[in-house]
Amino acid sequence: MKNAVVLFSGGLDSSTCLAIAKSQGYNAYALSFRYGQRHTVELDAARRVANHLGAAGHLVLDLPLGTIGGSALTADIDVPKDRDTAEMEQDIPVTYVPARNTVFLSMALAWAEVLPAADIFIGVNALDYSGYPDCRPEFVEAFEKMANLAIKEAVEGRLMMKVHAPLMRLNKAQIIELGMGLGVDYGLTHSCYDPSGDGLACGRCDSCLLRRKGFEEAGVSDPTRYVPQ
Ligand code: ZN
């Protein structure tokens, strides 16, 4: 069986991505980061989902991006709430984490070279997203090109790195339908940018709103546990 490294937050998209990698016959190694998030709910969810989906391994790396700051996810900046789709599409929001996917993919590349794995999966999406530049197809293609110039296993011809972004052209509802077909239990996943101390989703951040809309459009009852409004 082939190995793959899957960037994995325990959210809706990356959980679907892990299930896709497994369905394509990969030993899927999940990679998560303690990068200075405001909360550990996300990592608890990642552990649960990696276990539920049968990841071949799950690594949680420390990356103190909070020391750099510059994002509402890692610094003391308010997470935007109650924005409509037009507002979300306007600018790159303060929940953008500087160079996050470049940093994450670089760590995935390092692990892939050691495993070895010629395939990396990332759950980025160019439709229902918040305008992050490192979620675009151009970015993923450029990273793949760089990866094959960067590592010994590729340069010496033993491995040709491929970066898969299977959710790139799907909307949230399509992602949910795909994941349900692959047996993903979305009740275990966590997407909220600003959960309560006991792990309930706020229901008002961009991530919660896109997720909720996805369940509505898919005609699936939303298993997310929200803070009572
Ligand atoms: Zn939220």
- State the average pLDDT for the chain: 93
pTM, two decimals, is 0.94
Q: How confident is the model at residue 66 (pLDDT cuts 50, 70, 90)?
A: confident
Bridge partners, 121 (sequence order): 6, 164
Query: 192 C-alpha vs ligand 1 centroid, how far in Å?
Result: 4
The number of CA neighbours under 13 Å toward the Cβ of 141 is 4
Query: 131 C-alpha vs ligand 1 centroid, how far in Å?
Result: 17
Using a pLDDT cut of 90, give the percent of the chain over it. 74
Query: 130 C-alpha vs ligand 1 centroid, how far in Å?
Result: 13
User: What are 117-166's pLDDT values in tens digits?
Assistant: 999 999 998 876 667 889 999 999 999 999 999 999 999 999 999 999 99
| Residue 92 predicted with pLDDT over 90 | no
Residue 209 · residue 87 · CB < 8 Å: no
Q: Quick one: pLDDT at residue 101? A: 95
* Residue boundaries of the structural domains of the chain: 2-218
Q: Which runs of E-coded beta strand occur in 78-225?
A: 119-121, 162-164
Query: 78 to each of 10, 11, 95, 111, how far by Cα in Å?
Result: 23, 21, 9, 34
Q: 2-218 belongs to which CATH class? A: alpha beta
Query: 13 C-alpha vs ligand 1 centroid, how far in Å?
Result: 15
Query: 193 C-alpha vs ligand 1 centroid, how far in Å?
Result: 5
Query: 106 to each of 55, 63, 112, 173, how far by Cα in Å?
Result: 20, 12, 10, 30
H or E segment and range at residue 44 = helix 41-53
Residue with tokens 């675009």: 136
Query: 28 C-alpha vs ligand 1 centroid, how far in Å?
Result: 28
